[in-house]
Chains A and B, each alone.
Chain A
Amino acid sequence: MKTFNQKIAITCIAVAVMTFSLVAAPNFANAKDIVKVAFIGPLTGGVSANGIGGRNSAELAVKVRNEDPAAKYTYEFVGMDDECKPNVGVQVATKIASDKRIVGAVAHYCSAVALSAVKIYHRFGLPVIVWGAVHPDVTYGNKFNEIFRVNGTMINQNETAAKFMTSNGYKKFVIINDTTDYGKAHKEYFSKFIVENGGEIIESFGVTADQQDFTAELTKIKKLDPEVIYFGGLTPVGVRIRSQMNKLGINAQFEGTSGLKSDAYIEGLGDLSEGTLSFIEGAPLEKLPGGEFFSSEYTKVGYDQAAESYGPFAYAAMNLLLDTIEEKGPNRKAVVKALNAPAEYDSIIGKIDFDDHGQNTVAAISKYVVQDGKWVLWEDSEYASGKRSLKK
């Protein structure tokens, strides 16, 4: 029995020594306090290209800050995967929010996940800046002080999209949307603005987010003969629909939302992607105030996946969070209070100005078209200059 107790004692001492050395070592090497910040996005699953782009961009902001000798703290980056699934997102959000050492987070690309996670952040008082989810209710569906968003909402997107399409002479639309909150809200807002602008929605089709075969829906659509097929959903399904449209010989203009505008869309379709439209908030990277800086830093680190469309937003969100921590200290309440105070921030995506719901009000929408295997700003494209033309 005695030897057993001795063994326990020795083990305890060993564990204590190891723990002490682990905790203390970085402190000896570095005089700055360590502050943890988190990122949440879809790192696996169908839209992981966007999630990884966002993760890299947010991590880049932390790296740049840590290299800055003037920074008061050393930041530790925690990247988590919500798989674009609300049930997983809620678990991850709880894990992040209940970790008291994490001062703030930059979270969520998928609206369905963001909608279910915001309550948790509110309960735990964790300041969160949304970097990609576009559903209006993420900020406007609640009065949570902790939730902010740097990107615009789908209301702005669809308003611009509907005006643009109807002013280009399109009248007959068919909507395909995925049946998540994200897709359904896209359908709702696009329909609303199309009708307001004198267009007509002939029919709409709900599809699941993991559906592979769309031939049944598309055969029906072919019979309806619309001028435009609008897709409210994300890239993987968008690629399948566009590809199968071609198989069935449907010659309508294909139009997507911000969820479609990724390099993965063009990679997945090759030449077929030509002429596809999408609408997204913010300006193209090279036209952003800090776009050049962001691109060069991103390339310097050598990430093997692109930042994708929302990368700059993730970077700007993380940078804003770090700025606030630098100024107010690593305290959740202080950060929430500071972000709620009326102020205008400069960032690589331009000015950020939160309204009383924490929504960035500076949300210009850009129109894009695929031209020669690239998303080109509409105004700069040969489609706008009349050299090429959209379908019909």
Chain B
Amino acid sequence: MDISLLAQFTVNGLMLGMMYALVAVGFTLFFGVLDIIVFSHGDVVMVGAFAALTGHYWLTGIYPDMSMWVELFFISCISIITVAAFGMIMAKTMILRLRSASPLNTLLATMMLGTVLREAVRLFFPGGSNPKPFPVLLPDISASFGDFTLRFDSVILFVLGALLIVSLHLLITKTKLGMAIRAVAQDEETARLMGVNFTLIVLITFAIGSAVAAFAGVMNGLYYNEINFGMGLLLGAIGFSAAIIGGLGNIYGAILGGFLFAGLQTLGAVAMPFASAYKDVFAFGVVILIMAWKPTGLIAEKTSERV
């Protein structure tokens, strides 16, 4: 395989990996603080994309001549704020209430919530059952080197995604809020005794996780220029698997898992002798092997002594 083709596959895989990592981070954050799996997370990504699209319809309705950078900024804000608020409401009204029940109930309830979100968008968004074009808000510039085409919009999206992950890392490790989140994740009761407002921290964590999902949704829309109500389903399954192989509860694990999964998919489609139709079978198959090899994930949670 020549070098330009290899470069193209690498760039495609990196973009895919960034999106998976952003989704996986949400799964791992929620598991960290509450030990629960929020299965609707993939569909929250989809809601984020549709919130941005609604923002686009609304803004271009009022200011038809808006510059694309300004619009991009505003629709991202609309999406992130809406979805973060939704995350908090979901945590307050559903997740925290189900705390006293078995974790299975939370799993089931969030799975059903995912279906509700999906079908709600399909039914209530105008023409929601069809794929929707997402506005082109990044410059359509690309550079070609042989078979390798590097698109400027992909570069911007990748850098923005990386910045988001770095700021999330700084937030968790360097700020007081981050310390409180880590404290709750490590030991809820002790954190409470130390004066951490447990409910507030949970709500904020859900707001952060959902906001990252919203960003992933917008990124997905800008990258593919097409969104649909079912896009969250597979994204959720992949994000969850990425979080698991990385080590559930560990943010770096989720990021590693996201890129690893994208790498596996690309490898499955490109280098394997069988048809590309089996790339997901290949990727998920390797995930199962990794899980058998490292049951607690590639980067295991440090607080495994938690009782």
> Measuring CB to CB, which residues of chain A are less than 8 angstroms from any residue of chain B?
44-46, 48-49, 52, 179, 205-208, 210-213, 215-217, 219-220, 222-223, 235-236, 239-240, 243-244, 247-249, 264, 267-270, 305
Contact = CB atoms under 8 A, between A and B. Distances in A.
Contacts of A270: 133
B18 to A, nearest CB: 12
A52 B225 CA distance: 25
A184 B132 CA distance: 27
Given A46-B230, A48-B129, A249-B149, A212 B122 contact: no
A207 B131 CA distance: 18
Given A179-B277, A268-B130, A210 B12 contact: no
Contacts of B13: 216
Given A179-B277, A208-B277, A243-B224, A264 B131 contact: yes
B16 interface: yes
Interface stretch (B56-64, B177-185, B197-205, B231-239): B231-239
Contacts of A217: 269, 276
A212 B149 contact: no
Interface in B116-146: 119, 122, 127, 129-133, 142, 144
Contacts of B119: 44
Most buried by A among B224, B231, B266: B224
Contact of B8 (A210, A219, A235, A239): A219
A215 B280 contact: no
Q: 9 tightest A-B contacts by CB?
A: A206-B277, A216-B269, A268-B131, A264-B130, A215-B12, A48-B129, A239-B131, A179-B277, A206-B275
B218 to A, nearest CB: 15
Contacts of B142: 249
A52 B280 CA distance: 30
B270 interface: yes
Contact of A243 (B9, B226, B276): B226
Given A44-B122, A248-B149, A268-B131, A219 B228 contact: no
A46 B228 contact: yes
Contacts of B129: 44, 46, 48-49, 52, 264, 305
Contact of B234 (A45, A212, A243, A249): A212
A205 B231 contact: no
Nearest to A242: B226
Interface residues of B, number: 39
B181 to A, nearest CB: 31
Interface in B1-37: 5, 8-9, 12-13, 15-16
Interface string B239-279: 00000000000000000000000000110011000011101
B275 A267 contact: no
A301 B11 CA distance: 51
B294 interface: no
A279 B169 CA distance: 52
Contacts of B149: 248-249
A240 B277 CA distance: 16
Given A207-B277, A208-B277, A239 B5 contact: no
Given A219-B5, A243-B224, A249-B149, A213 B16 contact: yes
B226 A45 contact: no
A121 B119 CA distance: 29
Contacts of B174: none
B233 A210 contact: yes
Contacts of A52: 129
B122 to A, nearest CB: 7
A235 B131 contact: yes
B9 A219 contact: yes
A248 B15 CA distance: 13
Contacts of B225: 243, 247
A223 B2 CA distance: 10
Given A212-B235, A216-B279, A222-B147, A267 B127 contact: yes
